[in-house]
Each structure stands twice: as structure tokens, then as C-alpha cells.
Amino acid sequence: MIKTLPRAMRAFAFAGVSFGALLAGEPALAQAAASDGHTASLEEVIVTAQRREESSQKASIALTVLSGEALASAGVTSAESLSTLVPGVKISFEGAQAQVYVRGVGTFAANSLAEGSVAINVDGVYMARPSGVGGMFFDVQRLEVLKGPQGTLYGRNASAGAVNIITRNPVLEKFGVEISAAAGNYDALNVEGAVNLPLGETVALRVAAQRARHDGYLSDGTNDQDQASARVKLLYEPNDSVRLILSGDYADIEGRGPGAVDFPNVVPGHPWVGLDDPRSNAVLVAGSTAALTARGVPLPVAQGLAAQAALKPIDYIDYAPWGVSANLEWDLGWATWTVQPAYRVVDGSYYSNTGGFAFIDDEDSRTFTLENRLGSSGDGYSWVVGAYYFDEDMNYKSRVDARPFINSTSNVDRLDDQTWAVFGQASKTVFENVRVLAGLRYTKEKKQIAGSRVDFNAAGVGRPGVFAGRASSDATNWKVGLEYDVAPQSMLYATASTGFKAGGFTIAGSSILVYDPEKLTAYEIGSKNRFFDSTLQLNVTGFYWDYKDHQEPHLGPGPGGTVTFLTSNAGSATVKGFDVSVVYKASPNDTFGFDVEYNDSKYNSFLYDVNAGFATSKSTGCKIGPVHAVVIDGVSTNVNTVDCAGFQLAKAPKWSGTASYEHVFELASGAAVVAGIDSHFSSKIWGGVDFIANQRLPSYTMTNLDLTYRAPEDRWSVMAFVRNVENKAAYTNAFEAQFVAGLVHASILAPRTYGVRVRTSF
């Protein structure tokens, strides 16, 4: 790696020097731009990605920021929409479990034991369960997407990055009401409202709510939405030194839930035919080599294909996440003390059918977190130190059913996770315009699990087991870097940082298999710039990631020759490439945007075991090793080792990006008409890690159009929109159908949608 790194970064170092040279001529160019009438400039964007307020242009991290209005205008009501807004990010769902990937690093979560690689935080509170993120995308002030390991300031499960959802706070001594409503095809309705109530000179209350629904985008009714959410925030600010915010939120998430489609398409030219559609079920039944459980109700093994074909689907999702938190900021003069306790509950269940599999999950998670930190910044320095505590108690029931070979039930009566961490990060000016930064975090984690399980073999005979185990681990993460202000609005930086995703348990009969944490070390060189009186923003980042102990869920050998889902430390990978982001305010009425990412990724090693005979040239594109025996739960089982080294990382497009243009037509009345167009593109991806031909999902370009009338003083507005104008199929994930050679089932984004959105405030 030491030999490779300089070659990977040399071009970006040269680019940084070139930017520095360009700055020498900037004043003259800026003067020329001003003389051409460029009186408008780009707004400063303030973020808290590094646990302090700063300009996004001064944060030495790869960062994408989306305003709340931008999210609302794009119709974002759930996490998967970020796949078309942020290059290099792919998000899909298995039931309620969010599968979030950044640059190919993520988690193929299929049950409640999974840990995430991307930390999702709402108002600074970590969302431990990916199933608890739904219903959070309303009354948002901004969203921050941090690419790369955030092990120092965010800790565990931020190995690939972090997503920060920052919602709007109450405002003192100001009454305000905001209402918006959008309606469109697929019987879509999204109503959102917020009220800001002053309750005296030092207290204010903000109440916000949302109702979002639409019919299923897939022909079987799945990929629908049916959720209601509410949030209450109370602000108490007795003086200029103390600020306390109390917050509570609740969501009710129902419906059929996420679905999938056959790939290649069952009906050519019709990508949105769902798996529970009779046409898809017929393909599964006709191509099956065994009496599978059809999509719908789990069947006894004795029932055959004809009975399965007649079943009706029963996919559903039913979750009610809620939480309370507090955030106290106290200016002590020499530092600001921040204390943030939070308690969250995720309670719900889902039933999902994918490729002959029935996934049933019922979870009850209760987490308590506490972050306590001190921080300060001034002329030439900034620092933050803190301590963090995380405690989760969870129990859940799950069932995986794809008979005759794969059938198991698990009852986890207890899953306890306690994590402690201490951390610090600081930057200091050492020479004129040159700063060094360093950070360190130590994490200690203890987990316990106990429960029961039954694994069924092909004859339908169950093998019961009782399991109990514990595991502990610790990690030390660090970050070092250098920042150089080439000019007042241009910065070069270079950083090296680490992150990790927690280890965990996978269950085989009465045995507890413990997999280790995965680790990622990242090297980054970047340049952030504003030119021509802040009308042009140009940011460039080069990255090199060293990814080790990769955790991969997969079908593997269970006790007594059964087949089960396991998670293994499968190997290592290299991820390298660059990001280029451009925003150009060509005139007060014209704004261009362009953001592209290039990602050259490869698994350097990738090994896992499967039951002997399950891996064939039709089921995997990887190398298949000879049969050998392993002992699982005290029983010898024959397996093959599958070797997938050399492939591009799954869900990591080599090229992805967005391009946009907005023009404002000013009217004599003071009103305005705003026309916008944006387009997202992605090259081909591997949708899964079987690496068969049909898991190579196609490239796509997806374009959105909108036209908005804004009343004078922006008192109200009406927008007409069309999203995915091309009606292009954009796939984000692909799972191989068992027992049907070459068939995969893919997650797919929305087809063409259109509608009208109205908004008012007073």
C-alpha cells in the first residue's frame, strides 16, 4: 500500500498546487466578473459535522450538504432517496432494515443483529437501529453526508461515514406557521406543517408533523409508503450563556413495505413488476429445482409447487419508533460544555419475501446514549474533548424460510450492548495560514446474547438449540491532518483517519459465532475554493481507502447440514478515486451545479464457506474451492470455500454524479418563476456479491424537472414537478434467487412520478 499510495495521490497534489497558482490571478478575474454584473454570490453554509459550527468550506472532510428546502422540493421522505442526491451513496431496504453504502462500504442488513457502516444521527443522537430512521425526514434544516471514516468524533459504526439529519429548532419571540402539501400520481400525498410558539422571552415551542403516503410503485403493491410522524421541541434560553433544547418524536410506519423485482425483467420493458405479482411467481415456480416456500405464507415441506402458486402475498411493515432527548449547551467562557442524553425505542415487525425467501423479523430495541463534551475555538485554534456511553437492550424473533433447504427460527431473548468511549480532536495554527490537526478516540464494547433456535433440514426435521455467549472488543481510532489556507477562500488539506464497525454475533444452532470488527483507514487530499467574488465554488477530493476484515452476510453451513445466514470476516479491499464538486452562480438568476465521483475499487481477498454443492458456475462468478469438512455445533459438515477476490466492490459505481441548473424569472410584481432541472447518473454496479452476470446492474440517468411560482416576499409558492422523466429503472441492490439459476431479485427506485406542491408560511 505504501508503494501504491503516492501514485494514487500524485495527481491530486499537483491539482492542489495548480489551484494555488491560479489564486495569484484571482483578484483581477474577480474584478472582471464584477464588472460583468455578477453581483450575487453563493451563500455561506454552516455545518456541525466536526462537533462545532464552521463553514463547510473550512471543514477538511468530504462533505455534501443539502438544505431542508432542497430535500422537500426533491420529495425526500425516506432514506433511499439519497441514492439519487449524493454521488457514491447507495441505499436500499430489506423489510425495515436500511442497507446504506458509501463508496461500496456498507452493510447488507437482513436482521436485527446487523451493525451499520454509516452512522445515522438525528440532531446529534445516534440511530442504533436502521429500522428506526423512517419518519425523520420532515421539518429538516439541513442534511450532512460525511464520506470516509469518522472514528474520532463519531466512534463505532462510522467506518464508511456518517449522515447527520439536523431538524429545525424553536425560535424565541417569534410566532410562525409553515404548511406544505404535495399530491401526485400513485395516489401520493405528503402534508407537512410546523408551528413556532413563543412562550415568553426565554421559552419557545416548535411542533412539527408529517403525513406521507403513496401507493406501491411495484405491480404487487410493495414499495409503497404509509407513515405519520410528529416532533416537539422546547427551547429554554435564560441568558446568553445557557441554551437547553428538549425534544421528543414519534412515527407510525405501516404498509406493504419495500419490495423487489425480477432481473432480467419478467415482462420485457416493464421493470416494476413486483415479486408477489403472479407473473413473477410463475417464473419462480417454473424454474425451481425444489419445493420452495412461495412468496406469501411459509408452507410445510410436503406441499408442492401448485399449492405455492395459489398463495396470496402478505408482505407488511409495522413500526413505531419514538425517542426523547435533551441538549444542554453552557458557555463557560473558556469553553462550551455540551451534554446530550437520549432514550430511543424501536418496536415493530416486518414480513418480506425475496427470491423464494421469507424474512420475518420482530424487534424491540431500547437504547440510552449520553455524550458529554467540552469544546472551544478561537484565533488559530479549536479543540473538543468528550466521553460517550451507549447501552442497548434488545430482544427479537426472526424466521428465514426458503424450503426445503433453508428454514430456521430464532428467538433472541436478550441482546445487550454496552459501549464506552473517550475522545478528543484539536487543530492549531503552527505557521502563517498552516494548521495541524489530530484526534484520538478509545472505545470499549461488551456484548451479551442469549436465546433459542431451531434449524430444519431438507426432510423438515428440526434441530433445536439454546445459545448464550458474550464478546468484548476495544478499538483506538485516530486522525491526523494538515490544512493550508492558500488564500482567504481557498484551502488545501491532507488527512489520514481510521474508523471501525463493531463486531457481533451470528448464530448456528446452539453455537455462537463471533465475527471481528471491520476496519478502514483512509487517506485524503483535498482542495476547497471560492473564486470570483464567491460566485464559483470548486472542491476536489482524492481518496484512498484500506478496508480490512470486511463483514459479509451470506448463506452458509448450519448444524447438521442445514443452511443458514451467517456473517463472516470475508477479507479486505482497496477503494480509491476522486470527487469533484462545482457550484457556479453565473448571475443573480442562474445557478449551475455539478458533482461527480470516480471510484476504482477491488476486493483484494474475499473468502467464505458454503454448503458443499451449493456453489456452482451458475450460482457464483467466483472461484470454488474443493470440498472439505468443518465442524459446526459439534457436527462435521462438508463445505466449499468461495473466493471472490479481484471483483469490484458491490454497490460501488465507478462513475456517479449529479448535474443541475436553476433559472429565476423575476416578475414586475415582485413575484418570481423558478425553473429547475437536475439529473443523476450512475455507471454499472454489482448489486450483490455472488457476481453472476445478472447481478451486474445497468447504468442509468434519471432527470427531474420542476417549475415554481413564488408570490411576492415568498409568502406562498406552487410547484409542478416531474421526477424520473425518462421513467428509467434504477437498481440499487440484487439478491440471487435460490434454486433458479441466473435469476436475481433487485431493489429498484421509483418510476416516473409527477405532481404539485404548495407551500405557505406566515
- Four-point Cα dihedral 649, 652, 655, 659, nearest 10: -170
Q: Classify 514 as helix, strand or coil.
A: strand
Q: How would DSSP label each residue in 482-513?
A: EEEEEETTEEEEEEEEEEEE--EEEEETTEEE
For residue 212, the model assigns a pLDDT of 96
pTM over cut 0.85? yes
Grid cell for residue 518: 471491520
Q: Please return the burial class of 134, using the count of CB atoms within 10 Å of its CB with bins 0-12, 13-18 and 19+.
A: buried
For residue 739, the model assigns a pLDDT of 67
Q: Using an 8 Å Cβ cutoff, are 54 and 549 in contact? A: no
For residue 405, the model assigns a pLDDT of 63
Q: Is the pLDDT of residue 141 over 80?
A: yes
For residue 425, the model assigns a pLDDT of 97
Q: Using an 8 Å Cβ cutoff, are 563 and 611 in contact? A: yes
Q: Please return the burial class of 198, using the count of CB atoms within 10 Å of its CB with bins 0-12, 13-18 and 19+.
A: middle
Closest CA to 596 of 582, 611, 614, 616: 582
Least confident range of 344-353, 354-363, 528-537, 574-583: 354-363
Phi, psi angles (nearest 5°) of residue 73? -65, -30
Q: pLDDT: is 40 or 706 the higher one? A: 706
Confidence band of 93 (pLDDT split at 50, 70, 90): confident
Q: How would DSSP label each residue in 609-672?
A: EEETTT--TTT-SSEEPPPEEEEETTEEEEEEEEE-TTSPPTT--SEEEEEEEEEEEE-TTS-E
Segment of 1-15, 143-157, 548-562 carrying the highest mean pLDDT: 143-157
Q: Please return the burial class of 498, using the count of CB atoms within 10 Å of its CB with bins 0-12, 13-18 and 19+.
A: buried
What is the torsional sign of CA 686, 689, 691, 692? Answer: negative
Report the run of H or E that residue 442 belongs to, with start and end. Answer: strand 434-456
Least confident range of 246-260, 284-298, 543-557: 284-298
pLDDT tens-digit map of 280-305: 877 776 666 544 444 333 333 333 33
Q: Using an 8 Å Cβ cutoff, are 414 and 449 in contact? A: yes
For residue 108, the model assigns a pLDDT of 83
pLDDT tens-digit map of 509-543: 677 788 899 999 999 999 999 999 999 999 999 99
Q: pLDDT: is 559 or 253 the higher one? A: 253
- The per-residue b/e assignment along 93-131, b for 16 or more CB within 10 angstroms, e otherwise, is bbbbbbbbbbbbbbbbbbbbbbbbbbbbbbbbbbbbbbb
Confidence band of 355 (pLDDT split at 50, 70, 90): low
- Pick one of 2.40.30.10, 3.40.640.10, 3.30.950.10, 2.40.170.20 as the CATH number of 4-761: 2.40.170.20
pLDDT tens-digit map of 397-451: 887 776 666 667 778 888 899 999 999 999 999 999 999 999 999 999 999 999 8
For residue 718, the model assigns a pLDDT of 98
pLDDT tens-digit map of 683-727: 999 999 999 999 999 999 999 999 999 999 999 999 999 999 999
Kindly state the average pLDDT of the residues 592-610: 95
Q: Classify 128 as helix, strand or coil.
A: coil
Q: Using an 8 Å Cβ cutoff, are 78 and 258 in contact? A: no
199: Cα separation from own chain's centroid: 37
Q: Using an 8 Å Cβ cutoff, are 717 and 270 in contact? A: no
pLDDT tens-digit map of 204-236: 999 999 999 999 999 989 999 999 999 999 999
Identity of residue 697? L
Q: Is the pLDDT of residue 39 over 70?
A: no
Query: Whole-angstrom Cα distance, residue 583 to residue 65?
Result: 13
pLDDT tens-digit map of 2-36: 344 444 444 444 444 444 444 434 433 333 344 34
Q: Is the pLDDT of residue 102 over 80?
A: yes
Kindly state the average pLDDT of the residues 171-192: 96
For residue 311, the model assigns a pLDDT of 41
Q: Are strands 623-624 and 635-643 parallel, antiparallel or unpaired?
A: antiparallel
Query: Whole-angstrom Cα distance, residue 527 to residue 11?
Result: 12
- Torsion-angle region of 17 (φ positive above 0: left; ψ -120 to 50: alpha; else: beta): alpha
Query: Whole-angstrom Cα distance, residue 507 to residue 450?
Result: 10
Give the up-direction half-sphere exposure of residue 330: CA atoms within 13 A in the CB hemisphere: 9
Q: Which residues contact 184 (CB under 8 A, 6 or more apart)?
A: 214, 721, 753, 754, 755, 756
Query: Whole-angstrom Cα distance, residue 43 to residue 637?
Result: 63
High-pLDDT (> 90) share of the chain, %: 65
Phi, psi angles (nearest 5°) of residue 39? -90, -20
Least confident range of 351-360, 429-438, 548-557: 351-360
Q: Is the pLDDT of residue 633 over 80?
A: no
Q: Classify 551 as helix, strand or coil.
A: strand
- Four-point Cα dihedral 561, 564, 566, 572, nearest 10: 80
Q: pLDDT: is 465 or 479 the higher one? A: 479
For residue 602, the model assigns a pLDDT of 96
Query: Whole-angstrom Cα distance, residue 590 to residue 242?
Result: 42
Grid cell for residue 235: 427551547
Q: How would DSSP label each residue in 363-417?
A: EEEEEEEEEEEEEEEETTEEEEEEEEEEEEEEEEEEEEEETTTEEEEEEEEEEEE
Query: Whole-angstrom Cα distance, residue 286 to residue 292?
Result: 11
Confidence band of 197 (pLDDT split at 50, 70, 90): very high
For residue 13, the model assigns a pLDDT of 42
For residue 26, the model assigns a pLDDT of 45
Q: pLDDT: is 39 or 325 the higher one? A: 325
Grid cell for residue 461: 426435521
Beta bridge partners of 606: 571
Q: Using an 8 Å Cβ cutoff, are 91 and 79 in contact? A: yes
